């Protein structure tokens, strides 16, 4: 992780409020967070929901995560997905009965997965204070805080909406690469958080929904509930 972070005075105060909210019993230290989730995904607007169960490890010491999911499309044919940013590279790997049927990698995937890591800081509050993350308030927009992270040649930036209590309710990116067939289209993207609960010494959101801003209106393609969260001392898997 390339160290170039910092924060403006207003941003520092807002970040302190976020951190205090995330650690209601006082700050604890860990190398990362291990989450368990269940939820649904949609391939297209109006399509059938695809239920899943997943585990996710978010690293607090470097920009790295792995989301491992199993979908319940058929009782006898398991479908598994790994969505990850590891070693400065993003990847999406889809397998049916253990055989790979789809894979995404390359510069656009790298950018999109680093952006996902940054946007999920409310699930890994230990990483909020990492010196490589730059924090800045958004001029003229109270309660809005921009986080920027560069990992070598790759960069990402998102804006968090932060309540007076320090809870993050929304995160958004002006554009995120969206795969359409074999090409990528920069597309507005955002996520919404809610249902904060005290888990594993942290206060984290237990509900999340994620959207693409398409020409026909918002498309919610991901929704999940966090069923457990714990501070992890090692790799978490």
Query: Taking the chain (237 residues) in consecutive chunks of 10 residues, what is each chunk's mean pLDDT?
Result: 59 95 95 98 93 97 97 81 97 92 95 98 96 94 96 97 97 97 95 97 98 97 98 60
Which residues are CB-neighbours of 10 under 8 A, at least 6 positions away? 137
pLDDT value for 237: 37
pLDDT value for 6: 63
The structure's pTM equals: 0.93
pLDDT value for 73: 74
pLDDT value for 77: 78
DSSP states along 34-90: EEEEEEEE-SSTTPPPEEEEEEEEEESSSS-EEEEEEE-S-SSS-EEEEEEEETTEE
């Amino acid at each position: 992780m390339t160290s170039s972070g910092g924060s403006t005075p207003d941003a520092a105060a807002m970040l302190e409020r976020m951190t205090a909210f995330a650690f209601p019993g006082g700050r604890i230290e860990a190398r990362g967070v291990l989450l368990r989730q269940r939820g649904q995904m949609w391939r297209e607007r109006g399509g059938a929901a695809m239920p899943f169960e997943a585990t996710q490890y978010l690293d607090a010491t470097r920009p790295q995560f792995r989301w491992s999911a199993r979908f319940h499309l058929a009782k006898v044919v398991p479908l598994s997905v790994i969505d990850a940013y590891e070693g400065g590279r993003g990847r999406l790997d889809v397998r049916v009965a253990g055989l790979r049927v789809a894979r995404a990698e390359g510069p656009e995937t790298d950018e999109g997965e680093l952006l996902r890591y940054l946007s999920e800081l409310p699930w890994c509050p230990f990483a909020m204070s990492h010196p490589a993350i730059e924090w800045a308030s958004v001029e003229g927009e109270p309660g809005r805080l921009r986080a920027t992270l560069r990992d070598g040649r790759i960069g990402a930036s998102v804006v968090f909406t932060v309540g007076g209590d320090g809870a993050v309710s929304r995160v958004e990116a002006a554009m995120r690469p969206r795969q359409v067939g074999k090409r990528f289209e920069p597309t507005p993207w955002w996520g919404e958080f809610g249902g904060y609960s005290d888990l594993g010494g942290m206060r984290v959101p237990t509900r999340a929904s994620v959207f693409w801003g398409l020409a026909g209106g918002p498309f919610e393609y991901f929704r999940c509930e966090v069923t457990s969260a714990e501070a992890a001392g090692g790799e978490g898997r």
